[in-house]
Amino acid sequence: MVATIVGCALCGAETVGTLVCGKCTVELSHMMHHLAVRLPDLRQIAAKKASVMVRESSHGSRTVAPVPVNVGAWQLQQSIVEYAVQIGKALGLYIVRVHAESLLEVAARRSQRLMGRNDAVQIYKLAETAVHRLDRQLEPPAERVLIGQCDHCGNDIWSSEDDLAAGWQPCACGTTINIHQVQEQQMFRLALSGAQGTAADLSKLLKGCGLDIERKTISKWKERDWIKPIGKQDGKPVYRLWDVWRTLNR
């Protein structure tokens, strides 16, 4: 029986009897190892927290937890951890309190098995995207802020002051991005968790998303009865993030 020579589904190179070539399999191993090594650095960035809180359901109860000021790093960390868990399941690993870094290291050693799956291309491309986003987060472009992700390709959108002033900017995929819509989607994702905090902490979080809203401005909105506090923290009024966003765009 003669083996069929086909093109690698990722790079097009000749490969015999497999969907993905050996070079791309080795590259996946390198990417998995890279994610495992750099994920702790991302955790450090995401751990820098303000007193912005979100409400999370757990066994019918409602608990409050802090949201990091760097929303982009926090969301990326969650995405990589979820990816690692799914990869662990794809490898048939018994996952109980296993760090994502450990799952990724195992995946790096078993890249050939992963590339033998029917969803090998998706596994590879997700790893490629995660590595790109991680490196950009750890070494961000000069004088740019991460405002959210492109609806069309999922790439992170890093905006300069000129981009924010213009309201539009091109994505690497060729799509022209409406900056206000990207920011609104970012706010909506946080609002769904019931994000809330003091005027100072919400101001910091919003500035990290490219929205320059001063603490004093939020306090003035309260004085004008445009926004109402929902509680207090250390004697300071606490507001819902969505109420602040809605007032900004009233």
3-state secondary structure of 182: helix
pLDDT value at residue 189 = 83
Task: Point out which residues pair with 63 in neighbouring strands.
Answer: 56
112 within a domain of the structure (yes/no): yes
pLDDT band at 188 (very low <50, low <70, confident <90, very high): confident
172 within a domain of the structure (yes/no): no
- CA geometry: angle 244, 146, 179, nearest 5 deg: 65
Give the whole-angstrom CA distance, residue 92 versus residue 90: 5
Tokens standing for 138? 């750890």
CB atoms under 10 Å from CB of 37, counted, come to 13
131 within a domain of the structure (yes/no): yes
pLDDT in tens, 22-59: 999 999 999 999 999 999 999 998 887 666 666 554 44
- CA geometry: angle 33, 38, 39, nearest 5 deg: 100
Burial, 165: exposed, middle or buried (Cβ in 10 Å; 0-12, 13-18, 19+)? exposed
pLDDT in tens, 129-186: 999 999 999 998 888 999 988 988 888 999 999 999 999 999 988 999 999 999 988 8
Alpha carbon separation from 45 to 30, 39, 48, 75, 179 (Å, rounded):
23, 10, 6, 11, 24
pLDDT in tens, 61-120: 444 556 666 788 888 999 999 999 999 999 998 777 789 999 999 999 999 999 999 999
pTM of the full structure: 0.78
30 within a domain of the structure (yes/no): yes
202 within a domain of the structure (yes/no): no
205 within a domain of the structure (yes/no): no
For 146, list phi and psi in degrees, rounded to 5. Answer: -85, 115
Domain coverage including residue 113: 1-139
11 within a domain of the structure (yes/no): yes
What is the total count of domains within the chain?
A: 1
14 within a domain of the structure (yes/no): yes
Judge whether residue 230 has pLDDT over 60: yes
